[in-house]
Amino acid sequence: MKFKPMKKLVLLLSLPLFCFSQTETFLSLPKQKSFFQKTENLYSDFSGAKITVHPEQSFQSIDGFGFTLTGGSAQLIQQLEPTKKAALLQELFGPNGISVLRIGVGATDLDATVFSYEDKPKKFSLEPSKADLIPVLQQIIAINPAIKLMATPWSPPTWMKDNGESKGGSLLEKHYITYANYLANYIQAMEKEGIPIWALTPQNEPLHPGNNPSMYMSSQMQANFIKTALGPVFKKRKITTKIIVYDHNCDHPEYAIDLLNDADAKQYVSGSAFHLYNGDISALSKVKAAHPDKDLYFTEQWTGYKGDFTGDFMWHVKNVILGAVNNHAKTAIEWNLANDPSYGPHTPGGCTECLGALTISGQDIIRNQSYYIVMQAARFVPAGSIRLGIDVPEGIQAAAFKRPDGKVVLLVQNEGRKKNLSVEKLNLEIPAESVLTIIL
């Protein structure tokens, strides 16, 4: 898309912090479905509301931006013809691409069937994932060996639960050690497949037992499981995978706070993870204030097929991308990577309205709003970047990062009318309903 020049380029002198002769700007206009367009047409003669970056203030390092690779997503990607699949995976996971992925331990609700890796006691096997998920992960790792994989169970094997079903119920205390060994077996079996698991959450959405599969696990239950079983088993078996707790909505930050108040459990825990179907993203900062020595992660938010493209893009950039990192999250992960035109595969009782980042119909691939939401950050903010302090004017959302290459990146969102902005000594005119990336 071509952009009409707004103002002539003005080069300014006396620049104490950044060299603007090398400044690059990339514009996204979701209404026009135009994204990441490099442009020099935004420079202005006029100063505006000021954005101030504070390079002397550094916060968390960024582990990455990405998606959940459900079994259904992997199934759809795996059936692409080899050249098309290779090109897609290179686009997603090559340079300036996704650096973190969330995967299910056994079935998620966006798998075609419900299964675990040990449906019968003492019969552990990764076989259910060897047709699709495992080969896709192996291809991804070949492209990006540094990718971080976060694994999450939707349910333990049913025979370990008090209701004997994949949906709901709770883990029987007599199977705490059994389940901890199941998770350890999973991590070590994946390692043998060349798939290292960087982090594990003990339960997806532990306060939502109505999905299929799912399980209820209170904060006290999770603390007891970690301190009596999961932590000691990992230690005994020399497993260094991070344990990340909670993995549910922002309306209950006390779940993570209370769990981390248990010192016997806390010693094994790296941090806590959040979704945003309820609550406010500022909940992450409440947990950080209570436990500043533990990390924060944002791990799931969906887009639905009934959603509005522009509205979804702007809301998610504001809350999931900018909101999460500005509240100390080291990751920002959207929900499923791919679905078919009927929003499957999914389990009986699984999500029927989840819109993937990609819609894959046979050999055709459509990129949906979630793709652009994640790529808005992933293309410009690689893993290892450090969040910097930033002051922004009213009506603007923004985050600043120092990348490993030493450059400073600003992600700036304008939800309202076009505005004049000044970044240090640089004047810009930012269009209405846009996201602007500035590389200094």
Q: What is the distance between the alpha carbons of residues 27 and 112, in angstroms, rounded to a whole number?
A: 38
**Domains of the chain, each with CATH number or no CATH:** 23-60+387-439 (2.60.40.1180), 63-383 (3.20.20.80)
95 pLDDT more than 60: yes
Q: What is the pLDDT of residue 16?
A: 39
Tokens, residue 231: 């932590």
pLDDT digits 0-9 by tens, 221-274: 999 999 999 999 999 999 999 999 999 999 999 999 999 999 999 999 999 999
How many other C-beta atoms are found inside a 10 Å radius of the C-beta of residue 230? 26
Alpha helices (runs of H) in 31-128, residue ranges in sequence order: 71-78, 82-93
Q: DSSP secondary-structure letter at 14?
A: -
Residue of 432, 410, 199, 197 whose CA lies nearest to 321: 410
Q: What is the pLDDT of residue 226?
A: 99
1 pLDDT more than 50: no
Q: What is the CA angle 342-347-349, rounded to 5?
A: 95
Q: What are phi and psi of 380, to 5 degrees?
A: -120, -20
Spatial neighbors of 151 by CB under 8 A, at least 6 apart, are 102, 103, 104, 105, 186, 187, 190, 197, 199, 200, 201, 241
Q: What is the CA angle 349-198-251, rounded to 5?
A: 50
Tokens, residue 284: 């992450």
Side chain identity at residue 355, one-letter code = L
Cβ pair 416, 395 in contact under 8 A:
yes
CA 269 to chain centre: 19
Query: How many residues are recorded in the chain?
Result: 440
Q: What is the distance between the alpha carbons of residues 185 and 187, in angstroms, rounded to a whole number?
A: 6
Tokens, residue 59: 């916060």
What pTM does this model have? 0.95
42-53 core/surface letters (b: 16 or more CB in 10 A; e: else): bbbeeebeebeb
pLDDT digits 0-9 by tens, 112-162: 999 999 999 999 999 999 999 999 999 999 999 999 999 999 999 999 999
Q: What is the pLDDT of residue 22?
A: 81
Q: What is the distance between the alpha carbons of residues 216 and 200, in angstroms, rounded to a whole number?
A: 17
